[in-house]
Amino acid sequence: MTAADLISFNTIYLTVMLVRMAPRLPLIFLLMIHGVSSAGWGVIYSHSRICALKNSSVIMSCTYTYPTGYKLEKVFWTNSYSFPHPPDLFMDPEYSQRLQYLGDKQQNCTIRLSHVTQKDQHMYYFRFISDKPDGKWIGDPGVTLTVTDLQVEAPERVTEGHNVRLTCKSSCTLTDRATFIWYRNSQPLTERRDRNNQLLLQSVRREDAGRYSCGVQGHTYISPAAQFSVTYPPDNPVIFISPSEIVEGDSVTLNCSSDSNPPAEISWFQGGTFVGSGTIYSISKISSDHSEEYKCRSINEHGEKYSDAVTLNIMYPPRNVSVSINGSGVIVEGESVTLICSSDSNPPAEISWFKENQSSSVGSGQSFSALQSGRFYCEAHNQHGSQRSDTVTVTVKGRLVILYISAGVVCGAAVIITILLIWWVKKRNKTQVNHSRPNHDRHKACNDELNEPVYANEMVVSSFIKAAQHGPDVCKPELNSPVYENIQKRM
């Protein structure tokens, strides 16, 4: 049974007794009974339900009425309907510092409750007590208070270029008209103030990733942050080299830095050949053979990309130092010969020239002009070391000596040519003699044949046979074919 029911019961009981005892008073008590059930006693709340944001202040507005002839002695709010003495919240340590009465003892019964939490979720009643035993009232039903926090509802990740919608959720609809504020990484998005509790991000960029939270304008409470991730393919892989100056024999580390989400898998290539995987590629005891182009490839589920090629600049001391002579090592007095020094080094070496058995240098630079006889060598050196070449000999002779030598060379050449000509002529003559001897023998045979007797009316067969066996007859060409003739017989 509620307190109001008890009051009504007590009032009715007293009214009946008084009617019996004093018939002249029934109208007054009947009016009081009407007032209890209608306009005589009452509490009107502006909101029967209030949804408040955590840590905010809540205004519970109400008005109350009571019959004339009563004087109020006490007004207070309670969150319990316990009878006969509901607790006064102004006396409760949990509320006394947070509860403020804004009303009066006439009509207004409004209060403010600050820093509300989930513990404050109750039904609250206004109660007032008059100076008469039957003059007590409690406004039932009261005001139901619900306290809510805020939660950001968002997908964990979205692909770059897509649209995404974030929602600022509460367990109940806020009673006060709220303007929502959005934060990214604790910084307010000033352009994102809206009465709608949703945040729409169109064509998401990777810069939109972060920790998102929301709040309500005019309140200090901010929701817990929700992590929002934007996925995208690798972009601009870059290779970093350590140490910055590489000396032959050092250990070198290549680091491939790639901006991608999710993190990309890294592969390494040397001159187009796969050599390893992982963010870091290490080379121990590096040599000039490693002076090739290196690239890293970054790949994830959204795409792949190659870095720009880098070439390792490996420093090493001079090597393969040698001297070459531009021309002959023998020169005429007063002239010079150019010596050229070549070497392999990084950085390029400085060249110094020395004459054997002399401690100080005689020149510097890639080339050196020698004017004197002697044995010369070059020395190449840089900050990483030095190396010297083998020696070369330069001979300087007087002009007469050179002239004599030149004349001797010419004469010797002439003699050799003369000998060769004589030998050639003799050989040619001998060849001609060998070719003429067979013809001489044939002519001799012809003479012998002509001296033989010839018989008349005889076919010259022998010459024809000879011609067939030995070729044309040079003695009697007319006999190369059969001839019949009358031959005078010698007497």
184-223 confidence digits (pLDDT tens)? 999 998 665 556 888 988 999 999 999 999 999 888 899 9
Mean pLDDT estimate for the chain: 80
Check pLDDT > 80 for residue 490.
no
Q: Per mean pLDDT, which range of 381-390, 413-422, 424-433, 476-485 is the poorest?
A: 476-485
To which residue do tokens 């020094």 refer? 341
Strand positions, DSSP E, 66-163: 72-78, 99-101, 111-113, 123-130, 136-138, 143-148, 150-153, 157-159
State mean pLDDT over 14-31. Answer: 33
Distance from the Cα of residue 238 to its chain's centroid: 5
pLDDT class of 359 with cuts at 50, 70, 90: confident
Residue 369 and residue 411: Cα distance in Å, rounded?
33
Other C-beta atoms within 10 Å of 443: how many?
Answer: 10
Contact 134, 1 (CB under 8 A): no
At 115-130, the pLDDT tens digits run 999 999 999 999 998 8
Residue, of 6 and 281, whose pLDDT is higher: 281
The set of residues, in sequence order, having a beta carbon less than 8 Å from that of 411 and lying 6+ positions away, is: none
What fold characterizes domain 231-312? Answer: Immunoglobulin-like (2.60.40)
Rg (alpha carbons) of the chain, rounded to whole number = 65
Specify the higher pLDDT residue, 297 or 21.
297
Q: What is the CATH topology of the domain spanning 315-397?
A: Immunoglobulin-like (2.60.40)
pLDDT at site 189? 87
pLDDT of amino acid 191: 62
DSSP designation for 119: G
pLDDT of residue 84: 74
CATH class of segment(s) 3-9+35-145: mainly beta
In terms of average pLDDT, the best of 15-19, 65-69, 380-384 is 380-384
Task: In whole angstroms, give the CA distance from residue 110 to residue 128.
Answer: 13
Q: Please give the pLDDT value at position 31.
A: 27
Q: Which ranges in the chain are annotated with CATH 2.60.40.10?
A: 3-9+35-145, 149-224, 231-312, 315-397
Q: What is the pLDDT of residue 211?
A: 95
Q: Which of 22-26, 120-124, 270-274 has the lowest mean pLDDT?
A: 22-26
Number of alpha carbons in the 13 Å side-chain half-sphere of residue 174: 24
**pLDDT at residue 230 above 90?**
yes
- Tell me the DSSP string of 205-248: -GGG-EEEEEEETT---BPPPEEEEEEEEEEEEEEEEESSSEET
CATH number of 149-224: 2.60.40.10
Q: What is the reported pTM?
A: 0.54
Please determine, for residue 2, whether its predicted confidence score (pLDDT) is greater than 50: no
